[in-house]
Amino acid sequence: MEQKINDIKNQILKAISKVRDNGELFDLEKKFLGRKSEFVSILKNLKDLAPEERKKIGELANKTKGEILEIIKSKRQEVKNENLNFNKERIDVTIPGKKSGIGHLNPISIVRREIEDIFTSMGFEIADGPEVETEFYNFDSLNIPKSHPARDMQDTFFMKNSDLAMRSQTSAIQARYMQKNKPPFKIIAPGRCFRNEATDTTHEHTFHQFEALVVGDNINVGNLKHVAEVFFSQFFHQDIKIRLRPSYFPFVEPGFEYDISCTMCAGVGCSACKGNGWLELGGAGMVNQNVFVAAGYPRNKYTGFAWGIGLERLAMMKYKIDDVRLFHSGDLRFIRQF
Ligand code: PHE
């Protein structure tokens, strides 16, 4: 019997050194001291022993139980300290953090906001219109009647069996705004436009324009030139000159194409401007009186100027981007550069 008790103690001592956590310790305690353990059955059977023997074994068993409980107790503390091992859990606050990616603006949006800031600081209002437009606003109101060859100047996406089209130019916003507002006013109208075009490095079927429209009693070409020069100079952070060349757009008379002095060489001549010092930018002109009449204004009461320009073209010049298709490519390597 004595031998047995000492054996159990030795077994426990051996087993306990392998215990790594509280769960294992609990199992071990149950196995050696639990209700069904050998140790407890020894205690239960003490009553069957002779009185002498009972005393001796009983004392030994109680002493051993006390020792075992003591061992388990100190092991429990050890396991607890192990779990609180600060070294293992130490956090190095000097390790650089992991950056989680956040979205940001497309260069087109950046440029649009910049343009809006410049114009609102000059007292311009920002006008808006739908991307799916009626033929009236996209064409008729702009002095482009149905059978007129000028309708073919832009390859428009027409909607089947309706008079709707994807807006091919932000000029479509002109009559919309004028029907609701009386001169004098100064607006810009930025927006997405669509044309049924083959794409290449400078053409996209989906692109952005903004229209500038100023109408009042005495607006003239000088005003057009001045506002354009102020705007482009602020936008490109340098002195920009404007050059007008005669051109034709049905909604302006006279109509122009306008160039700006080269932003790379300030008009001296370089590869960007093919040596001539000017960069072609867009269309402009004095609002055709027919446009005023279509919008509900009396003929010859007001004068105004308008111009249109591509946002992609401006962004490409500003950030030196060489392919317009990149804007809508969805390529994050492109977008993350801005
Ligand atoms: N809407 C014209 C275009 O998209 C540009 C333009 C605007 C021309 C205003 C003259 C006046 O080509």
The pLDDT score that the predictor gives to residue 25 is: 86
- The contacts of residue 132 (CB under 8 Å, 6+ apart) are 159, 164, 165, 166, 167
Cα–Cα distance, 215 to 253 (Å, whole number) = 14
Report, as an integer, the average pLDDT of 272-300.
96
Q: Residues 211, 186, 191, CA angle at the centre, nearest 5°?
A: 25
Ligand 1 centroid to Cα of residue 217, in Å, is: 22
Indicate if the pLDDT at residue 174 is higher than 80.
Answer: yes
**Is residue 287 in contact with ligand 1, taking CB distance under 6 Å?**
no
Is residue 25 domain-shared with residue 148, that is, in the same domain? Answer: no
Is residue 178 domain-shared with residue 323, that is, in the same domain? Answer: yes
Ligand 1 centroid to Cα of residue 309, in Å, is: 7
Judge whether 260 lies within some domain.
Answer: yes
> pTM of this prediction?
0.72
Is residue 49 domain-shared with residue 114, that is, in the same domain? Answer: no
Is residue 52 domain-shared with residue 155, that is, in the same domain? Answer: no
pLDDT digits (tens, 9 = 90+) for 190-215: 999 999 989 999 999 999 999 999 99
Is residue 66 domain-shared with residue 114, that is, in the same domain? Answer: no
Domain count of the fold of the chain: 2
Is residue 121 domain-shared with residue 51, that is, in the same domain? Answer: no
Report, as an integer, the average pLDDT of 90-99.
87
Mutation pick for ligand 1 pocket among 249, 290, 291, 305 (CB with most ligand atoms within 8 Å): 249
Long-range contacts of the stretch 220-228 (C-beta < 8 A, 24+): 220/286, 220/303, 220/305, 221/254, 221/286, 221/305, 223/305, 224/284, 224/286, 224/305, 224/307, 227/122, 227/305, 228/258, 228/260, 228/284, 228/307
Ligand 1 atom at minimal distance to the Cα of residue 212:
9
**Is residue 156 in contact with ligand 1, taking CB distance under 6 Å?**
no
Judge whether 99 lies within some domain.
Answer: no
252-261 and 242-247 beta bridge pairing = antiparallel
**Is residue 169 in contact with ligand 1, taking CB distance under 6 Å?**
yes
Kindly indicate the confidence band of residue 85, based on its pLDDT and cuts at 50, 70 and 90: low
The pLDDT score that the predictor gives to residue 44 is: 86
Is residue 61 domain-shared with residue 205, that is, in the same domain? Answer: no
Report, as an integer, the average pLDDT of 95-112.
90
> What is the residue with the minimal CA distance to atom 10 of ligand 1?
284
Indicate if the pLDDT at residue 84 is higher than 80.
Answer: no
**Is residue 284 in contact with ligand 1, taking CB distance under 6 Å?**
yes
Judge whether 196 lies within some domain.
Answer: yes
Is residue 79 domain-shared with residue 111, that is, in the same domain? Answer: no
Ligand 1 centroid to Cα of residue 319, in Å, is: 24
Kindly indicate the confidence band of residue 298, based on its pLDDT and cuts at 50, 70 and 90: very high
SS (H, E, C) the chain: CHHHHHHHHHHHHHHHCCCCCHHHHHHHHHHHHCCCCHHHHHHHHHHHCCHHHHHHHHHHHHHHHHHHHHHHHHHHHHHHHHHCCHHHHCCCCCCCCCCCCCCCCCHHHHHHHHHHHHHHHCCCEECCCCCEEEHHHHCHHHCCCCCCHHHHHCCCCECCCCCEEECCCHHHHHHHHHHHCCCCEEEEEEEEEECCCCCECCECCEEEEEEEEEEECCCCHHHHHHHHHHHHHHHHCCCCCEEEEEECCCCEEEEEEEEEECCCCCCCCCCCCCCCCEEEEEEEEEECHHHHHHCCCCCCCCEEEEEEEEHHHHHHHHHCCCCHHHHHCCCHHHHCCC
For residues 235 and 215, the answer to whether their CB atoms sit within 8 Å is: no
The pLDDT score that the predictor gives to residue 163 is: 92
Ligand 1 centroid to Cα of residue 282, in Å, is: 7
Is residue 80 domain-shared with residue 115, that is, in the same domain? Answer: no
CATH of the domain at 196: 3.30.930.10
For residues 42 and 4, the answer to whether their CB atoms sit within 8 Å is: yes
Of the candidates 89, 116, 140, which is a domain's last residue? Answer: 89
Indicate if the pLDDT at residue 89 is higher than 80.
Answer: no
For residues 204 and 328, the answer to whether their CB atoms sit within 8 Å is: yes
**Is residue 193 in contact with ligand 1, taking CB distance under 6 Å?**
no
Range of the domain at 215: 107-335
Ligand 1 atom at minimal distance to the Cα of residue 153:
12
Ligand 1 atom at minimal distance to the Cα of residue 255:
10
Is residue 115 domain-shared with residue 199, that is, in the same domain? Answer: yes
**Is residue 283 in contact with ligand 1, taking CB distance under 6 Å?**
yes
When the pLDDT of each residue in the chain is averaged and rounded to a whole number, the result is 92
Is residue 214 domain-shared with residue 318, that is, in the same domain? Answer: yes
Of the candidates 89, 124, 154, which is a domain's last residue? Answer: 89
Judge whether 101 lies within some domain.
Answer: no
Judge whether 307 lies within some domain.
Answer: yes
Judge whether 102 lies within some domain.
Answer: no
Ligand 1 atom at minimal distance to the Cα of residue 283:
8
Report, as an integer, the average pLDDT of 75-94.
78
Kindly indicate the confidence band of residue 295, based on its pLDDT and cuts at 50, 70 and 90: very high
pLDDT digits (tens, 9 = 90+) for 248-275: 999 999 999 999 999 999 999 999 899 9
Is residue 175 domain-shared with residue 295, that is, in the same domain? Answer: yes
Ligand 1 atom at minimal distance to the Cα of residue 193:
4
Judge whether 98 lies within some domain.
Answer: no
The encoded tokens of residue 202 equal 């400078």
Q: Look at the chain and count its residues.
A: 338
What share of the chain in percent tops pLDDT 70?
A: 99
Judge whether 15 lies within some domain.
Answer: yes
Ligand 1 centroid to Cα of residue 250, in Å, is: 9
Kindly indicate the confidence band of residue 21, based on its pLDDT and cuts at 50, 70 and 90: confident
Indicate if the pLDDT at residue 120 is higher than 70.
Answer: yes
Ligand 1 atom at minimal distance to the Cα of residue 307:
9
